[in-house]
Structure 1
Amino acid sequence: MATKNELEKSKVRKETTAKFFFDMAKLTFAALVLGVAASLLNREIEDEIPSMANYLFAMGFIGTVAFAMIGYRILK
């Protein structure tokens, strides 16, 4: 049976790993979603939205949700 020290180490390891994935979610959101949104706000209204901007926005949103879900499942 696991000792109290081993259980505490396991708990800390899970919390640290979950925190890492939550931080990755925040970074992905800031870099891709907010970055693309800021670049879209700085363009002319008549200009066409580049397909790469749509792709990066979607991938940023999907990546943010995926990293947050991984972190949540680790803590669960």
Structure 2
Amino acid sequence: MGQRDEKDKMKSRKEKLADYFYDLSKLIFTAMVLGGMSSLYTGEVKPYTIYVVIAGIVLTYITAFSANRILKY
């Protein structure tokens, strides 16, 4: 009985941690990528805007990939 409860706890922890990383991925995408793209459309382009958008895309991929790896193993 005790080992089954421990497996359920571990599964629940993994799912919650993966959900956290997926939510973090969505937040990074919204803030960095869409926020940076909106400044491109308004015409207030700063020199670092492209770097922020690229960093947002990379960080979004890394956090989503991490969440997927957590769920796999």
Please confirm whether the aligned pair reaches a TM-score higher than 0.5, indicating the same fold: yes
Q: Which amino acid aligns with 1:11?
A: K
**1:63 and 2:59 equivalent?**
yes
Instruction: Give the structure 1 partner of residue 10 of structure 2.
Output: 10
1:21-32 matched pairs, under 5 angstroms: 21-32=21-32
CA distance in 1, matches of 2:3, 2:35: 47
Give TM-score scaled by structure 2 length: 0.91
Structure 1 portions without partners, runs of 5+: none
- Structure with greater helix share of residues: 2
Counterpart residue number, 1:39: 39
SS of match in other structure, 2:19: helix
* Structure of higher RCO (CA pairs closer than 8 Å, 6+ residues apart): 1
Say what the alpha-carbon RMSD is for the aligned residues. 1.4
Distance 2:69 2:18 in 1: 8
Partner Cα distance (1:50, 1:37) in 2: 11
Q: CA deviation at 1:60?
A: 0.2
Q: Under a length normalisation based on structure 1, what TM-score does the superposition of the two structures give? A: 0.88
Any stretches of 5+ residues in structure 2 without a counterpart? none
Shift of 1:41: 0.5
% same residue: 38
**Counterpart of 2:48 in 1: which secondary structure?**
helix
Q: How many residues align?
A: 71
Structure possessing the higher radius of gyration over alpha carbons: 1
